[in-house]
Structure 1
């Protein structure tokens, strides 16, 4: 069972990431195992586009200060750079889409859709975004691709919308648990996966080392998500100790 995911080197594994960090934080060790076994792996990040608005929402401004960025353009540009460094470490190919992060999205009336929080129900103004993301994915995917989607643990609005867009493709899917939201909401996993089969994959010390190093490449996000790099590495070590799981609907 361990070799199942990457046995066929002619099949691409496509991991869908809402933001620039989600996939590597969640399954970076598994990706590295696949790559070292000769597999083809790509990480497609949906919400990493450049905003055309000169002004930013109060929430975006607060996050920029926390991340130590001066503007939305700088935040996206430098975070894309972090992502490329992380992908070089774990071995996957990065693909960046141009959909906006929720902190940069506005409605047709010009108001910010998510002015105060990212952990809310999707705004009605985002209904079209889901269909556009589904269409963008469908244009690039091939019939033999294996697609891995976030479970949207924690209900971050962008994770929820990403999951909807991927599920609307109407194809077989695998799911990964969102780190660190899984650790913050451990009870959510059972309800989301109770109707699914669980596949667990061992992570070697090489895979774990690449995972920790790759995750640490997202330096701007570590204070917000993990507080310190040491805590990030400790969390990944504990999470990966018994292998990484993917889930498949029965």
Structure 2
């Protein structure tokens, strides 16, 4: 079986499903991680918020995305997944349509869900993904958008226009940060697929997260704290779980 995980950024699918992806590969599945917002930013100067994040990541300017794509290739290699990098720039680099103003000016702007001004972008990416998936017998997995990040919302909205039956993954670490009760958050009409992890699966997950060295400080004080947090999350979920709507065709 072939699985494609849609990842808004260069880390989201591995963060959220790394252990499950490793277990799927070990069972003989072909797994790919398609990252939507993996494109180079426009030529500088960069917006102040983007510069602030570059400083936190220990990267600079146009090199930031090259570093992050290299991290993603290393993480995917650890999981046995095949990476595919699309060319939409991260929202921190995008402008408001028809304007030179940044789409995101501060951290709070990231977590307001899909910005209505980007609906044409959703439509364009639904068409592009549809073309890439045309005729393919594949299981497509979308982020649930727990935490409300606008790029996660854009990815989910584009995926839902494909006319396919989708699986969804809880967005980690946002699901843990907000202590989300996923079944309650989803409401009725959903079913889950639960996968218990082996020790090797958990270790592969932790190693994949560690590969995103530039991003560790965004969520954890260090690698040991990250490993402990991933293990605690895995234990709280009794593995990794995907969700889909009951009875949905496609």
CA distance in structure 1 between the aligned counterparts of 2:39 and 2:75, rounded to whole angstroms:
18
Q: 1:204 to 1:48 in 2, by over 3 A?
A: same
Give 1:134 shift.
0.9
Closer, same or farther: CA 56–188 of 1 in aligned 2, 3 Å: farther
Shift of 1:157: 0.8
CA RMSD of aligned residues (A): 1.3
Q: How do residues 53-72 of structure 1 correspond to structure 2 at under 5 angstroms?
A: 53-71=43-61
Task: Decide whether aligned partners of structure 1 residues 43 and 127 sit closer, same or farther in structure 2, where only a CA change above 3 A counts.
Answer: same
**Residues 131-142 of structure 1: pairs in structure 2 closer than 5 A:** 131-141=123-133, 142=135
CA deviations 1:55-81 (Å, max 9, x no partner) are 11111011011111111x211110000
Contact 1:151 / 1:192 at 8 angstroms: preserved in 2?
A: no
Mapped to 2, the partners of 1:28 and 1:44 lie a distance apart of 14
TM-score, normalised by the number of residues in structure 1: 0.92
Residue 45 (str. 1) matches residue 35 (str. 2): yes
Equivalent residue in structure 2 for 1:247, among 238, 243, 246: 243
* Kept after mapping to 2: 8 A contact 1:17/1:150: yes
C-alpha contact (below 8 Å) 1:40/1:92 kept by paired residues = yes
Question: Contact 1:89 / 1:210 at 8 angstroms: preserved in 2?
Answer: yes
Shift of 1:143: 3.5
1:192 Cα deviation (Å)? 2.4
Bigger drift between 112-121 and 185-194 goes to 185-194
2:90 corresponding residue in structure 1? 101
Could you say which residue in structure 2 is the equivalent of 1:118?
110
- Using the TM superposition, give the Cα deviation of residue 193 of structure 1 relative to its aligned residue in structure 2, in angstroms: 5.1
Aligned to 1:99, what secondary structure does the other structure show? Answer: coil
Deviations 1:84-122 (A, max 9, x none): 000110100000000110000012122111122311243
Q: Which of 169, 187, 207 is the aligned partner of 1:213? A: 207
| Aligned equivalents of 1:161, 1:40: Cα separation in 2 | 25
- Asked whether 1:158 is paired with 2:158, we answer no
Q: CA 1:121–1:178 in 2, change beyond 3 Å: closer, same or farther?
A: closer
Does the residue aligned with 1:118 lie in a helix, a strand or coil? helix
Answer yes or no: is the 8 Å Cα contact 2:4–2:141 preserved in 1.
yes
Which ranges of structure 2 fall in alignment gaps of 5 or more residues?
none
> How many Å apart are 1:188 and its aligned residue?
5.6
The number of residues matched between the two structures is 239
Distance 1:76 1:209 in 2: 26
User: Is the counterpart of residue 127 in structure 1 residue 116 in structure 2?
Assistant: no
Partner Cα separation in structure 1 for residue 242 and residue 187 of structure 2? 10
Q: What secondary structure, in the 3-state scheme, does the structure 2 residue paired with 1:88 have? A: helix
CA distance in 1, matches of 2:57, 2:188: 36
Cα displacement string for residues 211-249 of structure 1 (whole angstroms, at most 9, x for unaligned residues): 111110001000012221111111111222311101010
* Greater displacement, 234-243 / 97-106: 234-243
Q: Which residue of 2 aligns with 1:196?
A: 190
Structure 1 contact 153–188 (Cα < 8 Å) conserved: no
**Deviation per residue, 1:176-206 (Å, 9 max, x gap):** 0100000112236222254310111111011
